[in-house]
């Protein structure tokens, strides 16, 4: 495990989601790998890790933005498309929240989502190993 592994697993540990019950099916879990952040650099580093270290293909990655009323949705979607290299055809519907305090200053919040149980379990195991090293 090197520095990029440690950084990206920590990003997932702190900014990501865990397996959770799927509301649609009884006793079924959702094992999506997700990270949400406003900082495009954090998102780019995490995507680099997914692509280069874990072999995730671009086609499997979905993005979802949260923006505020008054923000330019088209401009923000273009921004995240360019920064991430993910085409807008792979964006889930953008969520528009009530007006925030920083209209025009924020680039929105970006959620990276990959539905892949095998990837989730692999990352969970890597994180378990990292946590073991840290807690010695």
What DSSP string describes 41-106? HHHHHHHHIIIIIT---GGG-EEEEEEETTS-HHHHHHHHHHHH---GGGBPPPEEESP-SSTTT-
Domains present along the chain, CATH in parentheses: 3-134 (3.10.28)
Identify the burial level of 16 via C-beta atoms within 10 angstroms of its C-beta, where 0-12 means exposed, 13-18 middle and 19 or more buried. buried
pLDDT, tens digit, for every residue of 44-98? 999 999 999 999 999 999 999 999 998 899 999 999 999 999 999 999 999 999 8
What global pTM score does this model have? 0.87
- Token look-up 């499997």 returns 60
């Amino acid at each position: 495990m090197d520095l990029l592994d440690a950084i990206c697993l920590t990003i997932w540990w702190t900014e990501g989601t865990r397996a959770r019950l799927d509301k649609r099916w009884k006793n079924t879990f959702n094992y999506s790998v997700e990270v949400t952040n406003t900082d495009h650099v954090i998102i780019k580093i995490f995507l680099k890790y997914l692509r280069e270290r874990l072999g995730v293909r671009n086609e499997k990655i979905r993005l979802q933005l949260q923006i505020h009323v008054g923000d330019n949705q088209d401009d923000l979607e273009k921004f995240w498309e360019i920064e991430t290299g993910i085409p807008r055809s792979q964006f889930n519907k953008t969520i528009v929240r009530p007006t925030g305090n920083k209209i025009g200053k924020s680039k929105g919040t970006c959620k990276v989502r990959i539905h892949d149980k095998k990837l989730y379990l692999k990352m969970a195991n890597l994180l378990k190993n990292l946590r073991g090293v840290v807690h010695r």
